[in-house]
């Protein structure tokens, strides 16, 4: 059984060999931490962006990318937190649109399917999930900027305009993550949540 726990620590300081990044099928990145990942792991971003452009990546997919040591560059030598794998979890069709329960469920199932061989044959024991992109609220909410001190607007569209119910973290999102990933053997799952979510 998986050991799952919520943490407030910065995602990019987690030494997990696999990062799970919730993204969209449009190839657009607005979240400042995801934008930092785009820069740090440009090889993964190029692979993800290419899949979005050629339409081979749709909502409910999980694009697992294995990074090559030769692509890590000089920065990797001074940063021991470089992941070996990145799972691009496609949970919505656009960053301004809230996720749907079906899309998240399908993406988590795809992630589960791809994690199992890594656990069994490559000894994967720890993953880190970036939870903030899974949270969507109305236009007046905000997300922390990269420095954690200032805030920027998340969207300009309300859920009513989109006619899609907004999923609640405690009632919908986290229980779904637990349910879909709980049976992964001997795996520690760090779920990085914003500070306004109680642990």
pLDDT recorded at residue 152: 39
Per-residue confidence at 5, pLDDT binned at 50, 70, 90? very high
Pairing of strands 62-66, 151-153: unpaired
Q: How many CA atoms lie within 13 A of 198 on its CB side?
A: 1
Per-residue confidence at 81, pLDDT binned at 50, 70, 90? low
- pLDDT-above-90 percentage for the chain: 73
Average pLDDT of the residues in 149-171: 60
Phi-psi region of 135 (alpha: psi -120 to 50; beta: other; left: phi over 0): beta
Pairing of strands 142-144, 151-153: antiparallel
pLDDT recorded at residue 179: 97
Q: 6 and 197 in contact (C-beta within 8 Å)?
A: yes
Average pLDDT of the residues in 37-66: 97
CA dist 175 and 131 (Å) reads 13
Report the length, in residues, of the chain.
199
Q: What's this model's pTM, rounded to 2 decimal places? A: 0.83
Quick check: helix, strand or coil at residue 126? strand
Report which of 194, 187, 143, 142 is spatially closest to residue 173, judged by C-alpha positions.
194
Q: Which residue shows structure tokens 């190839």?
A: 27
């Amino acid at each position: 059984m998986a050991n799952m726990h919520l943490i407030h620590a910065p995602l990019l300081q987690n030494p997990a060999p696999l990062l799970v990044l919730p993204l969209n099928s449009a190839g657009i990145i607005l979240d400042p931490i995801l934008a930092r990942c785009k820069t740090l792991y440009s090889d993964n971003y190029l692979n993800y962006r290419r899949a979005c452009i050629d339409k081979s990546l749709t909502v409910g997919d999980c694009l697992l990318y294995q990074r090559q040591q030769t692509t890590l560059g000089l920065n990797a030598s001074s940063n021991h937190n470089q992941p070996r794998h990145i799972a691009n979890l496609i949970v919505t069709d656009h960053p301004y649109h809230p996720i749907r329960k079906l899309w998240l469920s399908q993406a988590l199932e795809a992630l589960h399917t791809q994690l199992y061989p890594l656990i069994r044959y490559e000894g994967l024991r720890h993953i880190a999930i970036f939870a903030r992109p899974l949270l969507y609220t109305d236009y007046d909410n905000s997300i922390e900027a990269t420095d954690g001190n200032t805030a920027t607007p998340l969207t300009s569209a309300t859920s009513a305009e989109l006619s899609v119910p907004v999923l609640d973290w405690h009632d919908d999102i986290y229980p779904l993550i637990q349910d879909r990933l709980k049976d992964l053997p001997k795996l520690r799952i760090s779920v990085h949540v914003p500070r306004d979510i109680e642990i």
